[in-house]
Homo-oligomer: A and B are copies of this chain.
């Protein structure tokens, strides 16, 4: 039971929360999202119980991180309206693939995160999927992309691309994504 319903949180609690997020970001960047939570707590200078008090699951912690870090990504996604429909789609997928690879293991969490609507991750997933869907609809309407391509296809491609980046290389992931998008274009 973390922060009470109506009250504003205590000052030290808020500071601990911030430190936990900052150290989690550093640890996940270096060791991936499967890194020991104990090391996050230690680096933040709090006991392990404090971490669980703020973030009851690993998903919740990653979700809170993305909530902040993804703002820039979403804004970039909105500026893509200026590009041609096909180019906007390409750049959006590339943006997300690059971004999702900041933490090793994140691609899997995002792919699974579309499931449980309760998790904080779901919000980020949904928003990413939304932008992708809007871009796809625009491209379909403009007649540059096959009519049968769905938003789910784009979401799957983003995750597969991020995963390939983790397990092969950025170059290989870029090649795969490029071929797939070419295949989605009108013949």
A-to-B contact residues, CB < 8 Å: 108, 111-112, 149, 152-153, 156-157, 159-161, 163-164, 167-168, 172-173, 175-176, 178-185
Contact = CB atoms under 8 A, between A and B. Distances in A.
A175 B61 CA distance: 32
A65 B167 CA distance: 22
Nearest to A108: B167
Nearest to A179: B183
Copies, count: 2
Contacts of A184: 179, 183
B178 A183 contact: yes
A1 B60 CA distance: 44
* Prevailing SS type, chain A contact patch: helix
Nearest to A184: B179
Contact of A159 (B108, B164, B178, B179): B164
Contacts of A167: 108, 111-112, 159
A153 B177 CA distance: 11
A172 B175 CA distance: 20
Contacts of A180: 176, 179-180, 183
Contacts of A175: 153, 156
A159 B165 CA distance: 12
Given A108-B167, A168-B111, A157 B183 contact: no
